[in-house]
Structure 1
Amino acid sequence: MTWWCVTLTEPWAWSPKAYPGIWASVLLLLVPYLVSMRRRTGANPHAGRRVAAFVGGVAVYWLATDWPLGTLGAGYLASAHMVQFLLYTLGAAPLILLGIPEWMGRRVLGRLRAYRAVRLLTKPLIAGVAYNVILLATHAPATVDTFRSSELGSFALDAAWLLGGLLLWMPILSPLPELQARSYFNKMIYLFLAAQVIPMIPGGILTFADFPLYSTYELAPRTFGLEARSDQALAGALMKVGGLPVVWGTMFGLMIRWARSEGHVDDRERRRRAAAAQG
């Protein structure tokens, strides 16, 4: 029995496969979180929403990692590999961050003695560069063909994607307010450049390449009738446009919050001036 999804040589079949390592990682994320929240939050009205977000993020992580998507992405389809990447970085990571309260974030960073390092890494410029370095490195043909061939290598790719997603979203959704970008405008520009503009470049290369770039997927048994070149083009298209709903939806939400915050400032200023005039 394998403990993590890895490249297989037999033709694809809808026969469920067990990956105990994936189940253990899900429990390792979920159980300590739920125990801590149960002990600390009590009647906190926001606790339910946070727990729902965190559990949802772990569920997306499980969906992206386990059979069947994890198996397809590990050795059959480049497009499934890309769907995994999108689920990790644009689904699991932001939901997990939304589920972490400030007190828990400070406790974890304090115990790991990682606050200074995280504060540096979550500066928008550094976080954006780090995320895209991870994106490029983990989609390079040499990396994919080398790492997908072993369980440990496949696990390393999955871990790198989750880490990259957390870095991407920290300047926007960090549980610690001081680690977020300073303004809504900065958050929107950062997210647009880091998660939308730069990934268009490698996505375009995959889409328009004249030959398959990944030996892993070129030599894999053909699945769902997709030829290697068409599969790779689909993977590139997903990298270019697959994140549009999340990225633009988030930017729209930030714009609404920005407008509301400006409205509150204007209301306070009007009340201050009215009080001054009456005095």
Structure 2
Amino acid sequence: MPISIFGFRALWSPYFFLTLAVLFLLYLAITVKWRDRFEGSEPLSRKELIYFSAGMLLVYITKGSPVDLLGHILFSMHMVQMAVLLLIAAPFLIKGIPVWIWRKVFSVPVLKLVLRVLTKPLIAIIVFSGMFSVYHLPMILDTIKLSIPLHAIFTITLFLSALFMWWPILNKEDFAPKMNQGLHKIAYLIASAILITPACALIIFVDTPVYETYQSGEAWLQSMALCVPAGTLGVLAGAGLSGPEVFTSMPILYDQQLGGVIMKILQEIIYGVVLGQIFLTWFRHERDNADELTQKQLLERKRLAMYK
């Protein structure tokens, strides 16, 4: 059965699209039209505009397009959503917002202390990994998917934790926590990959379906209220719509296991690309500053020799 039966609102989330459109126009107004009103502002670069536009587009695709609807039907598509939203869209938005705006955000008295704590590398990686793992515990995920407010709150909080997790790697300024050495960044990403592995492994190797909202007809119909208007869902339920098996021939267990595999593979690919960039940047810095670094090492050895 085609997913088009759910209607235009469920497929394309027009209100969510309008919300993102307003946020994008506000971004352009602040960074271009009203920029001169802000002290210390700088012209918006093409790279920043591309990153922000791509980030907003990915947010809409994962949470407003038919991909979101499919994410409530197939657990494997849900994990694709998670990977794209948390591991691609989040860093794109960080890089797309100009540094002068971040500087002002981190200077707000109410936010300054909270943001500086939550973006510290150790705290950021623990919070993100913990929230991701807890979110995919069967009891938690099923509970969240049956409540629109809970789902919205937890999704936003999880996305914010992803922003905090990426911040120490992407930030190059002194007004907020950052990681200067390439080796530290590499170790940080490897640790992040390790920390969410148990959650993925649990999903992959469990031998029975564990999520009620992807197998029980009643729970699934309630969870579909997150993206399908109540009137449309009531009509379809009355017409005999019973569960996700109507839209796919894939067994529920295979779909669940595939979701864990997809999440882990996409994470490894994305982290691999980022690690490659970090390594190349670090290598070029070491190569271009080899003489200076050698001189510093020689001076340090002479200083230590004086105390022997």
Place the TM-score, normalised by the shorter chain, in its bin.
Answer: 0.7 to 0.9
Higher mean alpha-carbon deviation, 32-41 vs 99-108, is at: 32-41
Moved more, 263-272 or 79-88: 263-272
Corresponding residue of 1:13: 3
> Residues 168 and 258 (structure 1 numbering): CA distance in 2 closer, same or farther, change over 3 Å?
same
- 2:74 touches 2:244 (CA, 8 Å); kept in 1? no
Q: 2:288 aligns with which of 236, 258, 264?
A: 264
- Cα distance between partner residues in 2 of 1:260 and 1:102: 24
Residue 121 of structure 2 corresponds to which residue in structure 1?
124
The separation in 1 between residues aligned to 2:30 and 2:15, in whole angstroms, is 23
**Where in structure 2 are the equivalents of 1:58-77 lying within 5 Å?**
58-73=56-71, 75-77=72-74
Structure of larger gyration radius? 2
List runs of 5+ in structure 1 lacking aligned partners: 1-10, 273-279
Instruction: Determine which of 106, 109, 124 is the counterpart of 2:106.
Output: 109
When residues 40 and 125 of structure 1 are mapped into structure 2, their CA distance, relative to the original with a 3 A threshold, is same
Q: 1:82-116, CA deviations, whole angstroms, 9 ceiling, x for partnerless residues?
A: 11111111111000011122110022233473122
Indicate yes or no: 2:24 matched with 1:34. Answer: no
**Contact in 2 for aligned 1:92/1:162 (Cα 8 Å):** no
Contact 2:16 2:64 in 1 (8 A): yes
Q: CA RMSD in A?
A: 2.4
Partners of 1:271 and 1:124 lie apart in 2 by 31
1:21 CA drift (Å): 4.2
Distance across 2 between alignment mates of 1:83 and 1:268: 45
Give the counterpart letter for 1:63 in structure 2.
I
Q: What CA distance in whole angstroms lies between the structure 1 residues aligned with 2:23 and 2:82?
A: 19
What does 1:233-252 correspond to in 2, within 5 Å?
Answer: 233-252=257-276
Provide the C-alpha distance between the structure 2 equivalents of 1:156 and 1:211, rounded to a whole number of angstroms: 29
| Structure 2: unaligned runs, 5 residues or longer | 217-242, 297-308
Alpha-carbon distance change, 134 to 271 in structure 1, aligned in 2, over 3 angstroms: closer
Which runs of structure 2 are paired with 1:1-279 in the superposition (5 Å)?
Answer: 13-15=3-5, 16-18=7-9, 19-38=13-32, 39-40=34-35, 44=43, 47-73=45-71, 75-111=72-108, 113-174=110-171, 176-177=173-174, 178-194=176-192, 196-219=193-216, 220-222=243-245, 223-268=247-292
Deviations 1:139-184 (A, max 9, x none): 1111211111233233234313321220220111136444211311
Q: What is the Cα deviation at residue 268 of structure 1?
A: 4.6
1:264 maps to a residue whose letter is D
Under a length normalisation based on structure 2, what TM-score does the superposition of the two structures give? 0.77
TM-score by length of 1: 0.84
Q: Is the 8 A contact 1:172 1:181 kept in 2?
A: yes
Name which of structure 1's ranges 103-112 and 29-38 shifts more when overlaid on structure 2. Answer: 103-112
CA distance in 2, matches of 1:269, 1:129: 34
Aligned length: 259
